[in-house]
């Protein structure tokens, strides 16, 4: 096992060309905080990007920041906070889900990992995911070619948006070395309105009403009975909590909270949660803290239409045991299964209730090898994705098999190879 | 016409025209196939009117099944296809080809579903951008991206071009507001990307499709996010003695943590043309005019108006009017919205450019444009989406003067080169199309362009869909597929190993 530790773009290029010439697949990671997600890989060698670190450009008034892929997210967040800005997509910190403790704060994720996995937090419903904030990238493809896409400006339709293609590609198309993102002003203030004791169904209706108002709710989650006490907050009691976050300028936040209270006055008992508790509360919802139980019990992340997800969960519970909580107005379900992942049951029900996708975020390697971690695609779409993979990484040397099983390299005869000896 | 090289028409296809028309008629009966020259004239150009070309034949399908069969028919016979929505592209994205079937999606004009709890609208691609907002308006909702052609442009075309508008800074482009599409690939396969849920289970093909300019697939259904209208909107109309001061004001507003709903700037020639046309009461003595629109709850808007007014004053504004009524706010916008036709009044023709720059480079780029204007002997007026750095220089020329169109195009190309030089891009929202195709190497090297073409190869390996657009030269997929491992084996790369 060789682990390459590049410190420059040129180093990455060297390593990929070496891997190509040796037919030696590489596992690509930064901090490795998300290594437990995806199908287990049989890579003899690894490419550790954590040495490729540093913010290379930050112009607060232009709302733009560029960093090398291995730059720790916390470093970027601290720098932005000094200028009262933030990455509006609230990148997930996966360490807690995989048993990390609060003291292990040095390897909590990189900007490259955030892009490769596209795991956005609660503000996704208002501000978009990582894919909506990436403006440009440089990367080395599985062909050993260094390329760039996009730029440093928000409004840009020049050529195909390969930056978005990298978002959520889990390192299977190219090794991204540099990333430029749009940053935004951080809200001056935030308050969360908690409505207690609602059923899933009533909670979803309340959240839809809130999101359909002009209150500009920036996050909407529902923690069913028993989940409430597993997140940091000043909420008392076990009963369910439906949470609506409002952010912005002080007077505006106060006004919009009042608007929501009027709108939902008959929904149930309400309490306001101030910024001091609201911030850690939403961090815990983002990071799946309620299911960070130190076990390997299967955890799913399911994305569906907000109105349908809780109905799917109800049907699922008729067939198997599962804990659930909801983010994204109810459209994002975090599920912890009692025993086995029950992938087929879950995916059948997702399709039955209008479609969406489920990703197995935590499970034993055996299960991750046995069932599709990512939602299987219909044949024509799967074939299209395979052709794309083949274009960027024909020999299957970048994270082979992490997203889909199957032969790592191109179909025989599809790729002509030329080798010029020195 | 200037020297735009389009792919050489395929003689074999041209020869088989009758057979192709008959084949299409078998798929789309009745008036859905147009092959008479006088009737095809309506389709010979899009919003980039300097270029005209009659297509081989026009087909207007009504169902997804027909689209699929048309594409499969053409794919099997190696016939090129140019997709078209409403034909409002400003970059020639829907310019027909002599040997290509023009696939017009305007009969896909129905809204299929309005879903308020999930805040989505599902529409066929021929529905206009404004049509979506109009459909949800009674409930107080709207669709945020609002390109200036929104009365006419189709939502399918918006996906193809990743259209913007004046509200992009706060509400995003098309790519940020589309949740799903159904599309047909060149081989006739129908695939769905996304839906009512967020994000993708695999590669973000929706992100790639948005802004792919009709080269990857034909969109047959679009699911968009709708938003509740803000409670109020008010605008400030601010005049500055220099573009530097106007630019600094924009930077300071954003630096103060304020993201306005819209933030537009005009230069002196544009201010004068607009004022002469609509009499909006614009101050004529200033060099830069800024419109800042703030939207949200009244209490927030009032708070921010005060902040912006103070920032403007600090930056040396000479006038600052604040709208006190909806009529006044719309009046502030009237001049800006009429800027293009206003310029059309003072010149026989104008050529609209679309570069984006880092905002701080505005003074340098405006100064560069003044120099170029002298060099080419052509006037230029500027309107500018100041919030996101998207410039729309309007080059004034007269097509009846021999050589002036060429001069205007050269001038435009120089402006775009300058945009790239200062860290910007060739096009912010109008697309590459045929217009900026040959300038792509200014921004991308050969390897960069190869990666984009590889995406094309995954979708349409025979390059049959909308050829001659976006890429200066499309390389054959087989050639792109070859691996070049130069230097042979590299067993000891010079990087740390553990």
**Which chain A residues are closer than 8 Å to B359 by Cβ?**
61-62
Query: How far, in Å, CA of B285 to CA of B272, rounded?
Result: 9
In this predicted structure, the answer to whether residue A421 has a pLDDT above a threshold of 80 is no
Q: Spell A378-396 as b/e; 16+ CB within 10 A means b.
A: eeebebbbbbbbbbbbbbb
Residue with tokens 């597929």: B481
Q: Which of A173, A137, A175 lies closest to A392, judged by CA?
A: A173
One domain, residues A162 and A200 = no
Question: Does B270 reside within a domain?
Answer: yes
Query: Nearest Cα to B155, choosing from B171, B133, B188?
Result: B133
Q: How far apart are CA A366 and CA B47, in angstroms?
A: 57
Where among A169, A185, A201 does a domain terminate?
A185
Q: In this structure, is residue B482 part of a structural domain?
A: no
Stretches in chain B below the pLDDT threshold 70: 1-2, 484-494
Q: Does A331 touch chain B (CB under 8 A)?
A: yes
**List of residues 6+ apart from A208 with CB closer than 8 A:** A306, A307, A329, A330, B116, B117, B118
Query: Who among B164, B191, B484 is closest to A384 (CB)?
Result: B191
Domain contains A397 = no
Q: Do A307 and B498 touch (CB under 8 A)?
A: no
End residue of a domain, out of A141, A162, A185 = A185
- Residues B161, B68, single domain; the answer is no
d(C-alpha B415, C-alpha B451), whole Å: 26
Residues B205 and B137 in one domain: yes
> Would you say the ipTM is above 0.90?
yes
Question: Does B199 contact A129 at a Cβ distance shorter than 8 Å?
Answer: yes
Give yes or no: residues A229 and A293 share one domain: no
Determine whether the interchain pair A168/B452 forms a contact, defined as Cβ–Cβ distance below 8 Å: no
Same domain, A262 and A298: no
Q: Where does B338-390 have alpha helices with state H?
A: 339-346, 362-376
User: Could you tell me if A48 and A106 lie in one domain?
Assistant: yes
Report yes or no on A399 lying in a domain.
no
Tally of domains within chain B = 4
Q: In this complex, do B119 and A212 lie within 8 Å of one another by their Cβ atoms? A: yes
Report the CATH number at residue A356. 3.30.70
| A239 and A332 together in one domain | no
pLDDT band at A101 (very low <50, low <70, confident <90, very high): low
Contacts of A37 in chain B (CB under 8 A): none
**Chain B residues near residue A420 by CB distance under 8 angstroms:** 484-488
Contact between chains at A149 and B451 (C-beta distance less than 8 A): yes
B37 domain-assigned: yes
Last residue in a domain, options B383, B403, B437: B437
B119 contacts in chain A (CB < 8 Å): 211-212
Provide the CATH number for the domain around residue B92: 3.30.43.10
Q: Taking residues A244-266, what's their average pLDDT?
A: 96
B83 and B166 belong to one structural domain: no
Same domain for A168 and A89, yes or no, is yes
Nearest Cα neighbor of A141 from A394, A347, A334, A353 is A394
In a domain, A393, yes or no: no
* Phi, psi at B356, each rounded to 5°: -120, 140
Task: Say yes or no: A61 and A28 in one domain.
Answer: yes
Q: What is the CATH number of the domain that holds A19?
A: 3.30.465.10
- B4, with CB counted inside 10 A (0-12, 13-18, 19+), is middle
Residue B447 in any domain: the answer is no
- Examine the domain organization and report whether B279 and B239 are in the same domain: yes
Structure tokens at B222: 């679009």
Confidence of residue A380 (pLDDT cuts 50, 70, 90): very high
Q: Is residue A422 part of a domain?
A: no
Residues A179 and A193 in one domain: no
Residue B330: give its domain's CATH number: 3.30.70.3450
CA nearest to B250, candidates B260, B73, B5: B260
CA distance B184 to A238: 50
Domain span at residue A168?
2-185
Q: What is the Cα–Cα distance from B152 to B130, expressed in whole angstroms?
A: 8
CB contact under 8 A, A151 and B449: no
Same domain, A304 and A257: no
The DSSP annotation for A56-104 comes to EEEEGGGTEEEEETT-BHHHHHHHHHHTTEE-TT-----TTTTT--TT-
Q: Which of B228, B255, B280 lies at the terminal end of a domain, its last residue?
A: B228
Shared domain check, B293 and B236: yes
In terms of domains, do A207 and A227 share one? Answer: yes
Q: How many residues does chain A have?
A: 422
Containing domain of residue B376, as a range? 347-437
The first and second tokens of residue B150, run together, are 């929104």
For residue B464, being part of any structural domain is answered with no
Q: How far is CA A120 from the centre of its chain?
A: 4
In angstroms, the CA A223 to CA A219 distance is 13
In a domain, A377, yes or no: no
List alpha helices for B16-167, DSSP H.
17-27, 37-40, 64-76, 129-136, 155-161
The pLDDT tens digits of the residues spanning A18-63 come to 999 999 999 999 999 999 999 999 898 999 999 999 999 999 999 9
Q: Looking at chain B, which residue has its C-alpha nearest residue A154? A: B388
pLDDT score of A412 more than 60: no
CA distances from A295 to A34, A337, A363, B389 (A): 16, 11, 9, 49
Indicate if B59 and B158 belong to the same structural domain. no
pLDDT at residue B484, rounded to an integer: 66
Count how many Cα atoms sit within 13 Å of the Cα of residue B159 in the half-sphere of its side chain: 34
Out of A60, A328, A403, name the one closest to residue B202 (CB): A403
- B294 and B267 in a common domain: yes
Q: What is the pLDDT of residues B295-353, one digit of tens each?
A: 999 999 999 999 999 999 999 999 999 999 999 999 999 999 889 889 989 999 999 99
User: What is the token pair recorded at A228?
Assistant: 């409430």
Q: Does B316 share its domain with B408?
A: no
**A173 interface with B at CB cutoff 8 Å:** yes
Question: What pTM was computed for the model?
Answer: 0.95
pLDDT at residue A408 above 50?
Answer: no
Chain A CB contacts of B248 under 8 Å are none
Say whether both B315 and B416 belong to one domain: no
| B258–A394 C-beta distance less than 8 A | no
pLDDT of residue B495: 75
Concatenate the DSSP letters of all residues of B389-455 into one string: TEEEEEEEE-TTSTTHHHHHHHHHHHHHHHHHHTT-BS-SSS--TTTTGGGHHHH--HHHHHHHHHH
Q: Cβ of A391 and B457 within 8 Å?
A: yes
Tell me, what DSSP letter sits at residue B148?
T
Chosen from B68, B91, B117, B138 to mutate, greatest number of chain A CBs within 10 A: B117
If asked whether residues A27 and A93 sit together in one domain, one would say yes
- Tokens at residue A91, please? 């990148």
Q: Per-residue pLDDT for A357 more than 90?
A: yes
The reported pLDDT for the residue numbered B402 is 94
Of A332, A348, A370, the one marking the end of a domain is A370
Query: Per the structure block, which two tokens stand in for A226?
Result: 């028993």
Task: Decide if B495 and A6 are in contact by the 8 Å CB cutoff.
Answer: yes
Looking at the fold, whether B118 and B21 belong to one and the same domain comes out as no
- Residue B453 falls inside a structural domain: no
Query: Which residues in chain B have Cβ-Cβ distances shorter than 8 Å to A256?
Result: 297
Location of structure tokens 């103060």: B256
Task: Give CA–CA dist B129/B142, Å, rounded.
Answer: 10
Cβ contacts of A416 on chain B, cutoff 8 Å: 478, 481-483
Using CA atoms, how far residue A1 sits from A12, A13, A25, B297, in Å, is 17, 19, 11, 59
Among all residues of chain B, which has the CA nearest to that of A24?
B491
Q: What does the block give as tokens for A93?
A: 């910190």
Phi, psi of B176 (to 5 degrees): -90, -5
Residue A111: the pLDDT is 98
Tokens of B236: 């400030």
Domain count, chain A: 3
Domain with residue B142: its CATH number is: 3.30.465.10
Coil, helix or strand for A244?
strand
Question: B403 — alpha (psi -120 to 50), left (phi > 0) or beta?
Answer: left
**CATH number of the domain bearing residue A237:** 3.30.70.2190
Residues B416 and B363 in one domain: yes
Q: DSSP assignment, residue A120?
A: -
In this complex, the residue of A118, A162, A169 whose CB is nearest that of residue B199 is: A118
Residues B369 and B399 grouped into a single domain: yes
Coil/strand/helix, residue B216: coil
A332-337/A322-327 β-pairing:
antiparallel
One domain, residues A262 and A145:
no
pLDDT of residue A410: 41
Q: Is residue B374 part of a domain?
A: yes
**Tokens found for residue A259:** 């608007």
Domain for residue B481, yes or no? no
Question: In degrees rounded to 5, what are phi and psi of residue B263?
Answer: -150, 105
């Amino acid at each position: 096992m060789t682990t390459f530790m590049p410190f420059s773009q040129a180093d990455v290029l060297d390593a990929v060309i070496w891997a190509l010439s040796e037919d030696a697949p590489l596992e690509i990671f930064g901090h490795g905080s998300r290594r437990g997600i995806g199908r287990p890989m049989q890579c003899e060698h690894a490419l550790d990007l954590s040495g490729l670190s540093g913010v290379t450009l930050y112009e607060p008034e232009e709302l733009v920041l560029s960093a090398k892929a291995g730059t720790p997210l916390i470093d970027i967040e601290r720098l932005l906070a000094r200028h009262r800005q933030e990455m509006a997509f609230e990148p997930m910190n996966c360490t807690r889900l995989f048993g990390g403790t609060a003291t292990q704060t040095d390897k909590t994720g990189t900007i490259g990992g955030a892009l490769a996995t596209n795991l956005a937090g609660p503000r996704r419903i208002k501000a978009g995911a990582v894919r909506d904030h990436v403006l440009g990238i440089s990367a080395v493809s599985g062909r050993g070619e260094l390329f760039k896409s996009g730029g440093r400006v928000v409004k840009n339709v020049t050529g195909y948006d390969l930056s978005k293609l990298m978002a959520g590609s889990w390192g299977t198309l190219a090794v991204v070395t540099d990333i430029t993102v749009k940053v935004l002003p951080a809200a001056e203030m935030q308050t969360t309105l908690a409505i207690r004791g609602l059923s899933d169904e009533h909670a979803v209706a309340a959240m839809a009403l809130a999101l359909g108002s002009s209150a500009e709710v920036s996050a909407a989650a529902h923690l069913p009975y028993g989940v409430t006490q597993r997140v940091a907050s000043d909420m008392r009691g076990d009963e369910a909590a439906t949470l609506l976050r409002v952010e912005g300028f002080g007077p505006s936040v106060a006004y919009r909270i009042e608007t929501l209270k009027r709108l939902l006055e008959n929904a149930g008992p309400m309490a306001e949660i101030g910024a001091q508790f609201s911030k850690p509360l939403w961090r815990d919802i983002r990071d799946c803290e309620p299911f960070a139980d130190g076990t390997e019990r299967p955890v799913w992340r399911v994305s569906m239409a907000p109105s349908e997800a809780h109905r799917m969960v109800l049907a699922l519970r008729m067939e198997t045991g599962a804990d659930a909580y909801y983010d994204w107005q109810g459209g994002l379900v975090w599920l912890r299964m009692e025993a086995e992942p029950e992938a087929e049951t879950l995916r059948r029900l997702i399709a039955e209730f209008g479609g969406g996708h489920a990703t197995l975020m935590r499970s034993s390697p055996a299960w991750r090898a046995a069932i599709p971690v990512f939602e299987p695609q219909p044949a024509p779409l799967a074939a299209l994705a395979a052709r794309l993979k083949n274009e960027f990484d024909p020999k299957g040397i970048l994270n082979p098999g992490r997203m889909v099983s199957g032969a790592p390299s191109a179909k025989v005869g599809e790729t002509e190879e030329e080798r010029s000896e020195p | 016409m200037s020297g735009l090289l389009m792919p050489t028409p395929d003689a074999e296809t041209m020869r088989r025209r009758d057979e192709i028309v008959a084949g299409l008629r078998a798929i789309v009966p009745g008036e859905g196939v147009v092959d008479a020259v006088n009737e095809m004239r309506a389709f010979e150009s899009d919003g980039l009117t300097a270029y005209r070309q009659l297509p081989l034949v026009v087909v207007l399908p009504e169902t997804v099944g027909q689209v699929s069969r048309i594409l499969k028919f053409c794919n099997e016979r190696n016939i090129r296809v140019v997709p078209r929505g409403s034909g409002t592209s400003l970059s020639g994205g829907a310019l027909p080809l002599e040997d290509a079937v023009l696939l017009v999606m305007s009969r896909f004009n129905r809204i299929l579903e309005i879903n308020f709890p999930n805040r989505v609208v599902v529409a066929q691609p021929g529905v206009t951008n404004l049509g979506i907002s109009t459909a949800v308006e009674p409930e107080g909702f709207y669709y945020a991206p609002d390109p200036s052609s929104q009365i006419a442009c189709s939502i399918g075309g918006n996906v193809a071009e990743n259209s913007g508008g004046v509200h992009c800074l706060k509400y995003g482009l098309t790519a940020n507001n589309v949740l799903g599409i159904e599309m047909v690939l060149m081989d006739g396969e129908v695939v769905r990307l996304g839906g009512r849920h967020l994000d993708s289970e695999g590669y973000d093909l929706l992100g790639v499709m948005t802004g792919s300019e009709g080269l990857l697939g034909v969109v047959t259904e679009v699911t968009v996010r709708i938003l509740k209208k803000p409670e109020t909107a008010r605008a400030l109309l601010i005049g500055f003695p220099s573009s530097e001061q106007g630019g600094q004001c924009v930077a300071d507003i954003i630096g103060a943590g304020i993201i306005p709903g819209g933030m537009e700037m005009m230069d002196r020639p544009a201010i004068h043309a607009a004022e002469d046309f609509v009499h909006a009461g614009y101050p004529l003595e200033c060099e830069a005019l800024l419109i800042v629109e703030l939207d949200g709850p009244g209490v927030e808007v009032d708070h921010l108006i005060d902040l912006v007014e103070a920032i403007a004053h600090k930056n040396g504004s000479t006038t600052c009017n604040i709208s006190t009524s909806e009529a006044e706010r719309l009046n502030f916008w009237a001049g800006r919205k009429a800027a293009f036709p206003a310029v059309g009044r003072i010149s026989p023709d104008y050529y609209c450019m679309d570069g984006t720059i880092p905002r701080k480079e505005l003074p340098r780029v405006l100064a560069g444009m003044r120099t170029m204007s002298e060099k080419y002997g052509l006037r230029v007026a500027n309107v500018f989406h100041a919030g996101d750095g998207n410039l729309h220089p309007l080059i004034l020329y007269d097509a009846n003067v021999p050589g002036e169109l060429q001069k205007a195009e050269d001038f435009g190309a120089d402006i775009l080169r300058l945009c790239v030089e200062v860290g910007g891009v060739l096009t912010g929202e109008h697309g590459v199309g045929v217009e900026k195709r040959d300038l792509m190497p200014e921004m991308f090297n050969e390897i960069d362009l190869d990666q984009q073409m590889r995406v094309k190869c995954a979708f349409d390996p025979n390059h049959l869909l909308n050829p001659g657009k976006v890429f200066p030269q499309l390389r054959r997929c087989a050639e792109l597929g070859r691996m070049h491992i130069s230097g042979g084996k590299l067993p000891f790369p010079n990087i740390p190993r553990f």
